[in-house]
Structure 1
Amino acid sequence: MKKGSWLLLFSLLLILSLAGCSAGGTNQPATNVAKVETTEIMVSAAASLNDALTDLQKAYAEKTPEVKLTLVFGASGTLQQQIEQGAPADLFISAGKTQMDALEQKNLLVKESKVDLVGNELVLVAGKDNTKVTSLEDLTKAEVDKVSIGTPESVPAGKYAQESLTNLKLWDALKPKFVLAKDVTQVLNYVETGNVEAGLVYQSDAQGSTKVKVVTVIPASSHKPIAYPAAVIAATKNKQASEDFLKYLQSSDAQKIFVNYGFKTLAK
């Protein structure tokens, strides 16, 4: 056989051999594992829930890894307006009933999902080393220049503060001293930084700070009961997952975490 013919035969044999190896490789068992589909839930929640919900987010991720929770915090009134304007949200947790009721009246909630989730207390706080403020009445003294509360129209804690101070006959005297804040987190920050001598926040906010002290608990009789209502948003595309998470928040395990952060459980 001529040299050229040998080379041609060898080339053909080599091609067939490689093709066989390649075909054999396709018979190997598949090693790819199907990925678990993730469902994302957008939770719009009052600023005072930040620490507790962030902890609960981690706990729920361990329990239900196929659900991703995205938390958006702000003043309840601001979040209410955002939902009314079509901002994406699956679940809303407000620090006041007024904001939740407004959404319900506009048919923006899954009504049967609405529930009062936790409670709280309103407290007067001052800087850790502050000696000027030892009572509510001290706020009226000349040496106390500034007192912060949340803007009553949009911040439930500010609304409770207005109601309490009015009933305690202190509102008019303190009005010139008020520094209004966008949410309770900002009130707390004003007190922590010394921009104001005192502020009215929730017990849960005060508990989470090492820079302030609780001067006194505001009498519960001076304001309406504090409750945090929660509900699934009607426009959600993840209704079942949202309802499941809300159910989890009502569980004994979740309620213990809320209590650890200064919230109160509500009698069923």
Structure 2
Amino acid sequence: MKKTILLLISAAMMLSACTVETDSSGGTLRISAASSLAEVMTALEAEWQAEYPDTELMISYGSSSKLRSQIEQGAPADLFLSASEADAIKLTEAGLLEEETVVPFAANRLVLASRNDSGYSGTLEELFAATDEKIAIGEPESVPLGRYTKKILEELGLWAGLDGQLVYAKDARQVLTYTESGNAALGIVYSSDAFRSDKVDILVELPEGTESIVYPAGILTESANIEAAERFLDFLTGDEGQGILRESGFLPVSGEAS
């Protein structure tokens, strides 16, 4: 009997030790990320996996509004990386994003771009007036890039004059693809997307509108891997993550180049 009791105690101690040593930040970290982050996330993921090989990243891309809608409908996610403060706010108000974890990690600007063999040049107004070709933008009602574009062009008094020329894309990556392929003569894209593409030239940087383009990140209230999500947030907002973002054409949250 004593031998049996001692064996049970020993087994319990071993199980307890295993529990203490288990790193709950391992496993899989599910990230819903704005499509304009796709390229930089590749670099971030490579660095992350080198440091934390036990935590696999499972990344879903799309427009921030589409990803928000998926989360609202119950799609599993641990971390939301948005190109829109408005979408992060909506998830927070719905109780789906932990408010105290929401933090801005990057900023962006809009630029007018064209294929690098187009020969276009001039001011924004001149370029719009000089062509009746198609201009690619994000869908204003469902894509943050489109909402930013429409708002700035309205503030400049240029929106109404483009009626009939606009081609709407489902996300930021598709706007860039339309522009790179020549399916649209011009495209209004994020400066970070144009920065990384060797197929387009930046013709004009649009003025900063009344709504800043800020990327917030936050942890989902139903996250199954909170520790890993917290660690990735620290990585993203720390020197290492911020350096990778700058190298990929993103701006610091202040909006000032560094």
The answer to whether the Cα contact below 8 Å between 2:64 and 2:84 also exists between their aligned partners in 1 is: yes
Gap regions ≥5 residues in structure 1: 1-33
User: Structure 2: how far apart are the matches of 1:149 and 1:75?
Assistant: 13
Corresponding residue of 2:34? 46
Whether 1:204 aligns to 2:197 is: no
Corresponding residue of 1:27? none
After TM superposition, the structure 1 = structure 2 runs for residues 81-120 of structure 1, keeping only pairs within 5 Å, are 81-120=69-108
What is the deviation of 1:91? 0.3
The answer to whether the Cα contact below 8 Å between 1:96 and 1:226 also exists between their aligned partners in 2 is: yes
Aligned residues: 233
Which residue of 173, 195, 210 maps to 2:183? 195
| Local SS of the residue matching 1:228 | strand
Whether 1:127 aligns to 2:130 is: no
1:171-226 deviation per Cα after TM superposition (whole angstroms, max 9, x unaligned): 00012211000011101111111111101111110011111000011111x34111
RMSD: 1.7
Please tell me the residue identity of whatever aligns with 1:78.
K
Whether 1:255 aligns to 2:218 is: no
Q: Percent identity?
A: 38
The answer to whether the Cα contact below 8 Å between 1:149 and 1:199 also exists between their aligned partners in 2 is: yes
User: Structure 1: how far apart are the matches of 2:166 and 2:94?
Assistant: 33
Whether 1:265 aligns to 2:245 is: no
Please tell me the residue identity of whatever aligns with 1:264.
L
User: Structure 2: how far apart are the matches of 1:94 and 1:106?
Assistant: 16
What is the deviation of 1:142? 5.8
Corresponding residue of 2:220? 233
Higher gyration radius (CA): 1
The structure 1 segments of at least 4 consecutive aligned residues displaced by more than 2 Å after TM superposition are 131-135, 138-144
User: Structure 2: how far apart are the matches of 1:68 and 1:145?
Assistant: 44
Gap regions ≥5 residues in structure 2: 1-17
Whether 1:66 aligns to 2:54 is: yes
Whether 1:138 aligns to 2:122 is: no
1:107-156 deviation per Cα after TM superposition (whole angstroms, max 9, x unaligned): 00111100011111111101101124533113433633211110112211
What is the deviation of 1:58? 0.8
The answer to whether the Cα contact below 8 Å between 1:92 and 1:231 also exists between their aligned partners in 2 is: yes
User: Compared with structure 1, are the counterparts of its residues 214 and 142 closer, same or farther at alpha carbon in structure 2 (3 Å cutoff)?
Assistant: closer
User: Structure 2: how far apart are the matches of 1:61 and 1:48?
Assistant: 21
